[in-house]
Every structure is written in C-alpha cells, then in structure tokens.
Amino acid sequence: MTASGQPEPGMRESASFDRNVIHEIQRAARTGVYDIRGFGAKRHLPHFDDLVFLGASMSRYPLEGYRERCDCDVTLGTRFATNPIKIEIPITIAGMSFGALSGPAKEALGRGATAAGTSTTTGDGGMTQEERGHSEKLVYQILPSRYGMNPDDLRKADAIEVVLGQGAKPGGGGMLMGQKISDRVAEMRTLPRNIDQRSACRHPDWTGPDDLAIKIIELREITDWKVPVYIKIGATRTYYDVKLAVKAGADVVVLDGMQGGTGATQEVFIEHVGIPTMPALRQAVQALKEMDMHRKVQLIVSGGIRTGADVAKALAMGADAVSIGVAALVALGDNSPAHQSDYEKLGSGAGYYDDWHEGRCPAGISTQDEELANRLDPELGGRRLANYLRVLAVECQTIARACGKSHVHNLEPEDLVALTVESAAMAGVPLAGTNWVPGSGHGE
Amino acid sequence: MSADSVRALNQRLHDLTEASADSTWRIAQPRGAHAIACGMRVAADIVIDGHAGYYCAGMNQLARITVNGNVGVGVAENMMSGVVRVKGQASQSAGATAHGGLLVIEGDAAARCGISLKGGNIVVGGSAGHMTGFLSQAGNIVICGDAREALGDSLYETHIYVRGRAEGLGADCMEKDLRDEHREDLAGLLEQAEIDADPATFRRYGSARTLYTYKADNAEVAAQ
C-alpha cells in the first residue's frame, strides 16, 4: 500500500471478491454464525435518486415558494373506520418495537411525531406507556408473535396495523437477541430472560387472505368499527399482495420496500430478499387503480425515505403518505459523530454503525441497557425528530409548489422523469429527454 | 345470523357495564357466524346455542361463554381471562396466544391448538391435531385423548399433558417427569374443566430448551 493507504499500481482488487466479501468469508469461517445486524440494505439499489421532477416553466404555472398555499395534510382510513386518522404532514413513523429500541427512544418518537402532527407506531412486544402517553396518534401493530397483544391496548389505539412482513425481511419473523431481553422486555413478551428471541413469521390464527378478511372483521368488532385497519406488507409480489390486502378489507396498505430498516436480521436476508421501494410502489398503485381503490384505500410507502424529495417522489408516484424508521432514529441521534469514540470502541464508526442487535448503542437508542438508554434525552430527541419531520414536509411542499401544485397529493407521475433506463422501467415514467417508458403491462 | 346482527349483538354485549354484567345472554341460531361475542370485557354469562364460526369469544376478558355446538378457527384467541367452553369440536388454532383464562373443548381440537400460548389454560376432552402447542410460551395444554404429530414444536415454557398417544414430538419438545406438583396442577385443571380423568394417567411434555440460544462452532474458541 502507498503512504496514503491507496493500493500500489498492480494491486488489483477483485470485483467479485472485494475486501468486504473477503472479510465476511473470514468472519463466517471464524465464528460459524451468520451475520446479524440492524439498519436496512446497504448496497446500491434503484431508488428515488434516479428520478427528477419537471418543474413548471412555459406550460405549467408554479406557485410562490413561501407564500401560496400548498397543503400536505392526509386522512388515513376512510374506507370503513368511523374515526379515520388525520395527520398534518404526509410522513408517519414506522413500527419499531420496545425491545429493539429503548424506552426513551420510544418516548422521543412519540414526542416528535406528536409535535409534527403525525402518528407513530408500536412494534413487536406490545404497547408501552412511554409511547402511548406521548403519542397523540398511535398505530398498534398486530404481529405474528402477538407478544404483548392486549385487547385493552387494542382499544386504546388510533389505528390497527396487521403486519404480514417488512421490507428488510419479507418472509421472516422478528429477532431480538438475548442481550436485549431485559426483565421488562421478557415480561412483556412472556419469554425467559436472555434467550435469543425469534418471533414467529406466520400469524397463529389465520392463513391466507380469506382468513385474514375474517380476522379483520374480528378486530373491527372488538373495536366497534371505530379505528382504521392497516395491512403492512414487505415488498415482493406487490401487485398481487396489494390486491389481496384490499380484498381482505384493509383501510390502508403499508408497503415497505427492500431499503426498509430492521432492528436485527440476517445480513443475507436484508440484502437479498424483496424488491426495492420504487418498483414496488408503482405496482401497488397500479393494483389499486385497477380495483378503482386508489385514494379510497390509502397507501403508505416506506423503505429508504430520507429527504423531502423522496417524500415528493413517492407521493407523485401515487402514495398517500410515507413512513420513516431508520431516518427517524438518525434524527434522534443514531450514528451521530458525537459518539465517534464509543463507536470506535465497538469496532465501528459514526455513519457505519449497524450492530443494533447487540444492545450496546452509544446513542441510547437500540439498547435495553439503562445506563446507555439514559444518554438519550427523550424531550431533546423528540424536538430533533419534529424538526426533521418539518424539514421533510417543507421540502416536499417546495417541490410541489415548483410543479404548480396546491396540495402535495396533486403531484403525479407526469411530473417525473427518470435518469436511468432501469428506473424508467421500474417507476413507469419516461427516460429524461425522451418519451420512452421501457417495459409494458403491470410487470407483476 | 347475518353480519349486521353480529354487529348489533356485539355492540349490546360491549355496552354492558360491570353493574349490568350479572346477566345471562342466550344467542339462538348463530348459524356459524364469525366473531360472535368477541372482545368481551365484563363477567357476563353467554350461551351460544349452535355452531359458531371463526374467532368466537376472541380476546375474551372475564366473560363465561359456552358454545352448545362446534366452533371455527381461533376460538378464544388471545383470551385474557374468563372461561370459554365448547361442547362440540373446535377447528384450528383454538386458544391461540391466550394470556389467561380457561378454554375447555369437550370434543376434539384441530391443528395448532394453543399455538403461541402465553399463559392461558386449555383442556381438550378428546384429541388434538398436529402442531398443538407450536411456539407456546406459558400456561398449560391438557389433552385427554391423543396428540397428532409435531406436538409442542419449538416450545418455550408451556406444560403439555397428554393422556393418550403422542404421534410425534416437534423440534425441541421432550417428555419430562410427571412429578407431584404437576399431578396437582393437572388435577386442578381437570376439575375446573369438569372432566373426569385420573391425573396419574397423563404424560408430561415440555421444552428441551436447546433452541433458546443460537449454537455455533466457533473455530477461534475451539482452537484455543
């Protein structure tokens, strides 16, 4: 190697066996354990970065950036529920469990979401007082494990989300390693302390969409048809899954793409199962339109949402709202340079840390260690999250106004073009500078 | 019973208060409707005269519910407390994820009875289908007849008692000693279930606990 750390001329790294691949083979040979980590897919995937907006010019009127009205409120659950959820911004907080996250982190998510006028979501393990107490609008997840599932909590919820899968691991169940199973987590989940807890991947009391339709009726009966019922799917056979979710009676479909995060999953699962958010979204919208249910059953999309541009692109493609998980944790303080020395002690660094399953999070977010958890001030974390959510909303409005839209839902595919052939095919919009949309049909 | 009448019935039941709960409700001609008497929160007595569909008595709290007939999938799923008694047969996932209460099935139970059980008690007067007790975590499952294959697969801490033959045990399920304290627990459950059976004639199954942590061959440790 040269003094600057660059390889000498003639030292050629293999594209197939690069340093990361070699490191993983050596790690696997040494330990005999597959790699488990948090975060989402890290490899390059076709994404919203490959799309750009056509701002207004001669043929379109823009709106004044800071003066003219551009609404971004969303109502979710208008199909069957007596009390749909009304949120002020088109961005919600995705389901993340107490167990994967600390109590202060859950509280901070609730505080931030409430301050920004949106909803947050429980996760595997049930509802905690921290999040119910600080979340004005809380979505209660019903997962295959049913850990902590309680009808009293169900009736406290503002919406119910039946989780079939998540983008990081469609077809897989949750995972919470023994070092994060504190007394409180163990009690909430009715499990022994310190075991490696692997949640079920199938629901225990229904199989298939016809059963699910009946299950949803039961949930509606128990809650007297008051609150919306969401169905969350990991992005795989999205076109068909969305149609089946609608048939099963969903008020809202939550679609989580491959870039979606997780508290802990096998690396091989995160990087190699599921499809990216962008093509999944196009398939979902197509399925809804074919059923004449677009905008009647609302669509929330998640997986790799980072900026207001991502939000605007998702809405332009037909989503009603987006959901964020990883980005929300980063806003709270995850991977902050303030903890660089602690990350280095863990063999990582700020911007790289993904061992959320180990429970040693220096930021106090993905841990059950009380000392570490106390590092996170939930009030400050909540303010950071609220700030970030407001920035996302304003960025989205900025783009919408530039495209001449008085509501962010008026953004449409016609406002978008693609920078690559693959993204044009996946998103179903023309390649920039052409009127060519590669591919045809719904591509299911 | 139509869907509309299930809604009206459940609303009347949900509107019961502690003060008005001390009453007996008789539901005639259920016609296999789904979600009958689910989400109960008070200690009412409810008798269903006929067959019920899916999720009968789902998430029950406190109520005493008797079905004079058969039930569909997921009877008393996620029950928290109370007593649910099925005079006939029960379909799949009976008592799934129940945290508390007692489910009595006087006939047979189909597959996955007591799946992911979290502390409730289930007594089956007849036999139970395959994968009974799958992933179950706490509580007791008593089977007075036979158990089909893969009993107690991926079991955590639920106690399973079988009087007849267990066709096969699932992953991490093993037969364990039936000690005095187990016979005592079993006698209590049978008494509550009003089933006449000698506790000494049962065998006990529980978790071998070999799947609680991931085991791997750590080459570095082995070499040291």
**CATH number for position A312:** 3.20.20.70
> Which of A31, A192, A222 faces B216 most closely, judged by CB atoms?
A31
Q: How confident is the model at residue B120 (pLDDT cuts 50, 70, 90)?
A: very high
Q: How much is the pLDDT for B133? A: 98
**Cα A374-A352-A165 angle, rounded to 5 deg:** 80
Q: Please check whether residue A197 lies inside any domain of the structure.
A: yes
Give the number of domains in chain A: 1
Question: Residue A155 has which token pair?
Answer: 């009736």
Question: Residue B22 has which token pair?
Answer: 């001390």
> Which of A154, A205, A217 faces B73 most closely, judged by CB atoms?
A205
Full residue range of the structural domain in which residue A255 is found: 38-427
Bridge-based pairing state of the strands B159-162 and B203-207: antiparallel
Interface check for A205 against chain B (CB to CB < 8 A): the answer is: yes
Counting every residue, how long is chain B?
A: 224
Q: How much is the pLDDT for B18? A: 83
Q: Between chains, do B137 and A191 touch, taking CB under 8 Å as contact?
A: yes
| Residue B128 CB-half CA count within 13 A | 33
Distance CA B151, CA B129 (A): 9
**Chain B residues within an 8 Å CB radius of A208:** none
* Residue numbers of chain A with a pLDDT score lower than 50: 443-444
Q: How much is the pLDDT for A66? A: 81
**Chain A residues within an 8 Å CB radius of B96:** 146, 204-205
CB pairs under 8 A between A and B: 110
Distance CA A159, CA A145 (A): 19
Question: Residue A194 has which token pair?
Answer: 């310190």
| Among chain A residues, CA nearest to B6 | A221
Q: Please check whether residue A30 lies inside any domain of the structure.
A: no
| Among chain A residues, CA nearest to B39 | A222
Q: How much is the pLDDT for A441? A: 54
Distance CA A183, CA A176 (A): 14
Tell me if ipTM is over 0.85.
yes
Q: Give the long-range contacts of residues B211-215, CB within 8 A, separation 24 or more.
A: B211/B154, B211/B171, B211/B172, B212/A192, B212/A195, B212/A196, B213/A178, B213/A195, B213/A196, B214/A33, B214/A196
Question: Residue A235 has which token pair?
Answer: 């992005």
Q: Please check whether residue A115 lies inside any domain of the structure.
A: yes
Q: How far is A373 from chain B (nearest CA, A)?
A: 25
Q: How much is the pLDDT for B217? A: 56
Q: Please check whether residue A354 lies inside any domain of the structure.
A: yes
Q: How much is the pLDDT for A149? A: 96
Beta strands in B1-145 (DSSP E): 24-28, 45-49, 64-67, 83-86, 102-105, 118-124, 138-143
Q: Please check whether residue A195 lies inside any domain of the structure.
A: yes
> Which of B93, B135, B217 faces A32 most closely, judged by CB atoms?
B217
Indicate which of B7, B12, B36, B54 best probes the interface with A, i.e. most A CBs within 10 Å of its own CB.
B54
Q: How far is A225 from chain B (nearest CA, A)?
A: 9
Is B222's pLDDT higher than 60?
no
CATH topology of domain B3-223: Pectate Lyase C-like (2.160.20)
Question: Residue A84 has which token pair?
Answer: 């749909």
Q: How far is B62 from chain A (nearest CA, A)?
A: 12
Q: Please check whether residue A183 lies inside any domain of the structure.
A: yes
Q: How much is the pLDDT for B216? A: 60
Q: Between chains, do B213 and A204 touch, taking CB under 8 Å as contact?
A: no
Distance CA A359, CA A371 (A): 11
Interface check for A380 against chain B (CB to CB < 8 A): the answer is: no
Distance CA A149, CA A64 (A): 48
Indicate which of A124, A222, A223 best probes the interface with B, i.e. most B CBs within 10 Å of its own CB.
A222
Distance CA B30, CA B55 (A): 13
Interface check for A80 against chain B (CB to CB < 8 A): the answer is: no
> Which of B7, B61, B112 faces A221 most closely, judged by CB atoms?
B7
CB A386 within 8 A of CB A115: yes
Question: Residue B80 has which token pair?
Answer: 């928290």
**Chain B residues within an 8 Å CB radius of A200:** 116, 135
Alpha-helical segments (H) within A273-377: 277-290, 308-316, 326-332, 340-345, 370-373
Q: How much is the pLDDT for A24? A: 95
Q: Between chains, do A190 and B99 touch, taking CB under 8 Å as contact?
A: yes
* For residues B151-167, average pLDDT: 97
DSSP code string of A364-430: SSS---HHHHTTS-HHHHHHHHHHHHHHHHHHHHHHHHHTT-SBGGG--GGGEEESSHHHHHHHT-P
Indicate which of A26, A143, A175, A205 best probes the interface with B, i.e. most B CBs within 10 Å of its own CB.
A205
* Phi-psi region at A19: left, alpha or beta (left = phi > 0; alpha = psi -120 to 50): alpha
Of A323, A309, A387, nearest to A119 (Cα)? A323
CB A373 within 8 A of CB A104: yes
Q: Say what percent of chain B tops pLDDT 90.
A: 88
Distance CA A397, CA A394 (A): 5
Q: What is the pLDDT of residues B73-108, one digit of tens each?
A: 999 999 999 999 999 999 999 999 999 999 999 999
Q: pTM, whole model, 2 decimals?
A: 0.95
Question: Residue B46 has which token pair?
Answer: 């409810």
Interface check for A341 against chain B (CB to CB < 8 A): the answer is: no
Q: Between chains, do B35 and A196 touch, taking CB under 8 Å as contact?
A: no
Residue A422 backbone dihedrals phi, psi, to 5 degrees = -65, -40
Q: How far apart are the first and last CA of chain A?
A: 48
Of B53, B51, B92, B97, nearest to B77 (Cα)? B97
Interface check for A186 against chain B (CB to CB < 8 A): the answer is: no
Sheet of strand B203-207, all strands in order from the earlier edge strand to the far edge:
B24-28, B45-49, B64-67, B83-86, B102-105, B118-124, B138-143, B159-162, B203-207, B173-176
**Chain A residues within an 8 Å CB radius of B58:** 218, 222
Q: Between chains, do B54 and A195 touch, taking CB under 8 Å as contact?
A: no
Q: Please check whether residue A400 lies inside any domain of the structure.
A: yes
Q: Please check whether residue A73 lies inside any domain of the structure.
A: yes
Is B47's pLDDT higher than 90?
yes
**Counting Cβ atoms within 10 Å, is residue A66 exposed (0-12), middle (13-18) or buried (19+)?**
exposed
Beta strands in A71-195 (DSSP E): 74-76, 85-87, 91-93, 120-121, 138-142, 159-163, 175-176
Q: Between chains, do B73 and A200 touch, taking CB under 8 Å as contact?
A: no
The single-letter code of the amino acid at A61 is Y
Q: How much is the pLDDT for A444? A: 46
> Which of A152, A190, A214 faces B55 most closely, judged by CB atoms?
A214
Q: How confident is the model at residue B220 (pLDDT cuts 50, 70, 90)?
A: low
Query: Which residues is A278 bridged to in the sheet?
Result: none
Q: Which helix (H) or strand (E) holds A210?
A: helix A209-222
Which sequence spans correspond to the domains of chain B? 3-223
Q: Give the long-range contacts of residues B178-187, CB within 8 A, separation 24 or more.
A: B178/B202, B178/B203, B178/B204, B185/B140, B185/B159, B186/B140, B186/B142, B186/B161
Q: Between chains, do B54 and A145 touch, taking CB under 8 Å as contact?
A: no
Distance CA A105, CA A97 (A): 10
Q: How much is the pLDDT for B3? A: 61
Distance CA B96, CA B58 (A): 9
| Among chain A residues, CA nearest to B92 | A205
| Among chain A residues, CA nearest to B132 | A204
Q: Between chains, do B213 and A196 touch, taking CB under 8 Å as contact?
A: yes
